[in-house]
């Protein structure tokens, strides 16, 4: 992590980010909203794992969104790529060491709720770690026993709801179930997840939330619903479908994300 931190400091000596933003599938266009950005490829940062999925560029952008100083992780390493759940841990640790106190995550997800169709935005209120994998395996010391109640910060969620209301955007809230992937779920699995209390399902976010809480970052996560989950509609699921659906809703989602980031910065001046 120290090597990555030094490398970031050398390339962006002025950067004092307070908010880390992690862009998931379909959210990449948000980068265009980052002003005066220094761009660093993950490949040039020791310990930053490459993001090998279409729609994930694998770059760190340091700059501003209005008055908010941000560090944008454009692309994530998924646990299904190499099997490890700690792919984003070094990146998050480096941004924490650089001064970030909050992590705003985004993802694409499938909906399990009839009242949450594709194009909807859902704030993650809680999660189900279905694979029961952790980025903290191998850590030592008592700090690894992280409390996960209110992992998705209630104060930040209240801020996000206010920002959405001000922008006239409908923002739902629900439980996000992490499925390892990369295959989509079966209809039987989706029926099981409904029984378990899931509102949305996706292949990311949970490991990063665990790592961030361990580091002490406050976490917020927003899902862009790109489809009804398997068996709930006749759509044929594919990554191309996810990206196409996300693109259709991206402008509104990115505007909300910018408003949320500004609201966090206004609430927590550096």
Supply the residues annotated as catalytic.
25, 56, 78, 80-81, 108, 203-204, 227, 239
Q: Which two tokens stand for residue 70?
A: 């941000």
CB of 57 to ligand HPA, least distance (A): 18
202 lines the binding site for ligand HPA (CB under 6 A): yes
Print the binding letters for residues 160-179 with ligand HPA: x by CB under 6 A, - otherwise: -------------------x
CB environment 225-239: b (16+ within 10 A), e (fewer): bbbbbbebeeeebeb
Specify the DSSP element, H or E, that contains 121. Answer: strand 121-129
Helix axes 89-98, 2-11, angle to 10 degrees: 60
CB of 193 to ligand HPA, least distance (A): 10
199 lines the binding site for ligand HPA (CB under 6 A): no
Specify the DSSP element, H or E, that contains 154. Answer: helix 154-167
Binding part of the chain for ligand HPA, among 89-97, 106-114, 116-124, 136-144 by CB under 6 A, reads 106-114
Binding part of the chain for ligand HPA, among 5-13, 151-159, 164-172, 200-208 by CB under 6 A, reads 200-208
Binding part of the chain for ligand HPA, among 36-44, 79-87, 143-151, 225-233 by CB under 6 A, reads 225-233
Q: Is the dihedral of CA 72, 78, 81, 82 positive or negative?
A: positive
CB 57: neighbour CB atoms within 10 A?
Answer: 14
226 lines the binding site for ligand HPA (CB under 6 A): yes
203 lines the binding site for ligand HPA (CB under 6 A): yes
242 lines the binding site for ligand HPA (CB under 6 A): yes
Are 85 and 79 in contact by the 8 Å Cβ rule? The answer is yes
Strand partners, 60: 40, 73
In this chain, which residue has its C-beta nearest to ligand HPA?
A: 110
Nearer to ligand HPA, 118 or 135 (CB): 118
31 lines the binding site for ligand HPA (CB under 6 A): no
Nearer to ligand HPA, 7 or 106 (CB): 106
Specify the DSSP element, H or E, that contains 226. Answer: strand 218-228
86 lines the binding site for ligand HPA (CB under 6 A): no
Are 22 and 104 in contact by the 8 Å Cβ rule? The answer is yes
138: left (phi over 0), alpha (psi -120 to 50) or beta: left
Binding part of the chain for ligand HPA, among 14-22, 120-128, 208-216, 221-229 by CB under 6 A, reads 221-229
How many positions of this chain bind ligand HPA (CB under 6 A)? 14
What CA–CA distance (Å, rounded) separates 264 from 180? 30
| Residues lying near ligand HPA in the complex (CB under 6 A) | 108-110, 179, 184-185, 201-203, 226-227, 229, 237, 242
């Amino acid at each position: 992590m120290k090597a990555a931190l030094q490398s970031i400091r050398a390339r962006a000596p002025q950067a004092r980010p307070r908010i880390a933003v992690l862009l998931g599938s379909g959210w990449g266009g948000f980068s265009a909203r980052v002003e005066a950005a220094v761009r660093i490829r993950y490949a040039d940062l020791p310990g930053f794992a490459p993001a090998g999925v279409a729609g994930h560029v694998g770059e760190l952008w340091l700059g501003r969104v209005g008055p908010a100083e941000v560090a944008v992780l454009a692309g994530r390493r998924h646990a299904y790529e190499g099997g490890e759940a700690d792919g984003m841990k070094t990146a998050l640790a480096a941004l924490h060491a650089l001064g970030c106190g909050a992590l705003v995550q985004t993802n694409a997800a499938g909906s399990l709720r009839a009242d949450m169709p594709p194009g909807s935005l859902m704030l993650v209120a809680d999660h189900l770690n279905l694979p029961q994998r952790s980025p903290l395996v191998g850590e030592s010391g008592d700090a690894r026993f992280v409390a996960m109640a209110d992992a998705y910060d209630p104060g930040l969620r209240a801020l996000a709801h206010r920002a959405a209301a001000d922008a006239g955007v409908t923002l739902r809230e629900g439980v996000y179930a992490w499925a390892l992937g990369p295959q989509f779920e079966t209809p039987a699995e989706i029926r099981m997840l409904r029984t378990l209390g899931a509102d949305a399902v996706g292949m990311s976010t949970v490991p990063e939330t665990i790592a961030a809480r361990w580091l002490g970052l406050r976490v917020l996560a927003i899902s862009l619903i790109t489809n009804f989950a398997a068996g709930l509609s006749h759509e044929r699921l594919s990554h191309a479908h996810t990206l196409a659906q996300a693109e259709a809703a991206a402008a509104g989602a990115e505007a909300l994300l910018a408003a949320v980031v500004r609201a966090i910065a206004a609430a927590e001046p550096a």
